[in-house]
Chains A and B, each alone.
Chain A
Amino acid sequence: MKSIAKKGGPARQSAGDRTFTIVNCIIMTLVTLVIVYPLWYVLVASLTDPVIVNSGKLLLYPESFYTQGYARAFAYAPLWTGYRNTLVYTVTGSAIALICTIPAGYALSRMDLPGRRGIMFLFTFTMFFNGGIIPLYLVVQNLHIYDSIWAVVLPVAVSAYNLIVCRSFFESGIPVEMLEAAKIDGCDDFTFFFRFVIPLSSTIIAVMCLFYATSLWNMFFNPLMFLSGKEKMPLQVVLRDLVLTNQATTITSSAEEIAMRQKLAEQLKYCIVVLAAAPLLIVYPFLQKYFAQGVMLGAVKG
């Protein structure tokens, strides 16, 4: 471990090294603050009287604890529809994505799969070249899935990048000897996959869940393009509507009207941003060991 070398350091640290360490600590503290403070600010602002928030003060903690914003957020019906829709899209979409990606990743990891390189190329190519939004829109219409949940979840059911991550995982994680031994025992590919590969795949399944669920939870543009009814829109679109409504009033309405609506909407905005961002921010630290692994698997040449 390299810590041996480093631990030897402090005792005989030169003056230059000490300066370096101090400067480095300061930089890291600043970086951490810059990352955390905006998030903290939004959280505090969602719990503070809008009059104080709108004065543009530096908020460190909720000065006057104010929960009316959340009370109004919870009473705001589109939020709940949005939340429900997002949950449904995220769960369904992740499930479909896993069904598509995990078995395919395994099949493509098998060196004895005829046509493996060609198929892999077809997938990789989609990372660098695609039809673009209009042709995709036409496909969604031709398949008659426009304005349904399928229009939201199917176009993103496979990402070539995630497929490569999966394939790399199976290439390095399932020893060839294991397959050979199983084959001698009369095991076919299905049995091997479901009985031996899947139980060894909890890491990759967790990584894929996180990657797909994050992108589905945060998805904004596809629902906007492929859905028409407001009642089907996910949380991100509800949030966008709030933000944009504000912008629209700034441009067209009279001064007093802006001030009024601004004040009402501002608080709601903070609360909904918190509610939209919180689930992922709470979950990711527990899964970080997995997704760091996932990123590295993806870095293995495609």
Chain B
Amino acid sequence: MESGKQRKWTLGKVLRSWQLYVLLLPALVWLLLFAYYPMYGLLIAFKDFKGKMGIMGSPWADPIFKHFEAFFSTSIAVNAIWNTVSISLLTLVVGFPVPVVFALLLNQIQNSRIRRSVQTISYAPYFLSTVVIVSIISMLFSANGLVNGLITATGSKEIFFTSLPEWFRPLYIGSSVWQTMGFNAIIYIAALVGISPEYYEAAIVDGATRFQRIMRIDLPLIMPTVILMLILNVGNIMNVGYEKAFLMQNSMNTTVSELISTYVYKVGLQQAQYSFATAVGLFNSVVNFILLLIVNLVSKRFSDISIF
């Protein structure tokens, strides 16, 4: 935290720091052009945007929430919102505990070379692109792929994983967990390394089993980190990456794979309904941001941990 004396800044101070501002300049230009200029563009959600007239010149929508109302009156709206919320909640419920458990168990491996090798291997999927991940899914789970090969070998009938709507979520979530487990565990593993050995020594003297040491020492001590990560995750609940859903989407599974973000892409860029798509996207961002604020507030109240 900065102390009070640095708070008071004068013109002289600003001028004396001009070189620091020059160092900041490229990032500030980026911030202006690619972060806040698009936010200004959100105005078109309340306008009838015409390319030739520009953002300012286009007429205001009448009524002002016209595009939002139009979205909610489509049959897709409820479905897309439901799909977005359910897939991210499921990903969170299934995927969030996995890296924590992985870190706790990995920490119990005593041979440091094995421990480090397993950790290194666990990062690998993180470096694969979404396209590669979805390609691997389609290879392993295709009609004549490995998984169906194993299924038919046991005498069962093959399952068309990639086209059956009920398999979209399991594949989506399973591959996400597979991809991010190792990377998300880094932070917990680091927190575990930082635990003072005295705790373990005392616990061993008291006759605590390994399992008890995990539950009574490791877990409570990494809890603040876990909660912080949970806030960040919950605060992004509506921000489901469209890339993966878009890539896994096909005409057979749209009932579950159409998310708000994929819908925005389709209407916005493929059908060029800019104002309408921006309104849908804005709705999504605002709901997400409100959720983040609520989670942050709740956590601040009960655990004193917050991101702002």
A residues in contact (CB < 8 Å) with B: 1-10, 14, 16-17, 20-21, 24-25, 27-28, 31-32, 34-36, 38-39, 41-42, 45, 54-59, 99-101, 103-104, 106-108, 110-117, 119, 122-124, 126, 128-139, 143, 154-155, 157-158, 163, 188-190, 193, 214, 217-221, 225, 236-237, 239-240, 243, 246-247, 251, 266, 269-270, 273, 276-277, 280-281, 284-285, 288, 292, 295-296, 299, 301-302
Which of A221, A270, A284 sits near B123, CB closer than 8 Å? A284
Knowing A31-B118, A38-B136, A163-B27, the reply to whether A139 touches B37 (Cβ < 8 A) is: yes
Which residues of A sit under 8 angstroms from B227, Cβ to Cβ?
none
B109 x A24 contact (CB < 8 A): yes
Can you offer 22 A-B residue contacts whose CB atoms are under 8 A? A8-B204, A9-B110, A16-B209, A21-B210, A34-B178, A38-B140, A41-B140, A58-B146, A110-B17, A112-B6, A122-B36, A123-B27, A132-B284, A133-B265, A135-B44, A218-B127, A218-B128, A236-B129, A243-B138, A270-B139, A295-B187, A295-B190
- CB closest chain-A residue, reference B98: A31
A27 x B105 contact (CB < 8 A): yes
Mark the stretch among B71-79, B87-95, B194-202 that contacts chain A. Answer: B194-202
Which of B131, B178, B285 sits near A243, CB closer than 8 Å? B131
B24 x A28 contact (CB < 8 A): no
How many chain B residues touch A (Cβ–Cβ < 8 Å)? 105
A134 x B27 contact (CB < 8 A): no
B131 x A240 contact (CB < 8 A): yes
**Majority secondary structure of chain B interface residues (helix, strand, loop or mixed):** helix
State the CA gap A284–B186 with chains docked (Å): 14
State the CA gap A56–B149 with chains docked (Å): 4
Knowing A54-B144, A131-B42, the reply to whether A20 touches B195 (Cβ < 8 A) is: no
Apart from the given pairs A8-B204, A128-B289, A134-B274, 13 other A-B contacts in the complex at a CB distance below 8 Å = A5-B200, A5-B201, A58-B146, A107-B23, A135-B278, A138-B38, A139-B37, A157-B30, A158-B34, A193-B19, A218-B127, A243-B134, A269-B139
Knowing A16-B211, A21-B210, A292-B186, the reply to whether A28 touches B21 (Cβ < 8 A) is: no
State the CA gap A154–B130 with chains docked (Å): 21
Which residues of A sit under 8 angstroms from B40, Cβ to Cβ?
131, 135
Which residues of A sit under 8 angstroms from B274, Cβ to Cβ?
134, 138
B243 x A220 contact (CB < 8 A): yes
B residues in contact (CB < 8 Å) with A: 2, 6, 9, 13-14, 17, 19-24, 26-28, 30-31, 33-42, 44, 55, 102, 105-106, 108-110, 112, 118, 120-125, 127-132, 134-136, 138-140, 144-150, 152-153, 178, 182-183, 186-187, 190, 195-197, 200-201, 204, 209-211, 225, 228, 235-236, 242-243, 246-247, 250-251, 264-265, 268-269, 274, 277-278, 281-282, 284-285, 288-289, 292, 307-308
Which residues of A sit under 8 angstroms from B28, Cβ to Cβ?
104, 119
State the CA gap A21–B112 with chains docked (Å): 15
Which of B24, B108, B201, B210 sits near A104, CB closer than 8 Å? B24
State the CA gap A221–B269 with chains docked (Å): 12
B30 x A133 contact (CB < 8 A): no
State the CA gap A59–B225 with chains docked (Å): 40
B109 x A28 contact (CB < 8 A): yes
B134 x A104 contact (CB < 8 A): no
Which residues of A sit under 8 angstroms from B6, Cβ to Cβ?
111-112
State the CA gap A194–B17 with chains docked (Å): 16
A134 x B132 contact (CB < 8 A): no
Knowing A38-B140, A133-B268, the reply to whether A107 touches B186 (Cβ < 8 A) is: no
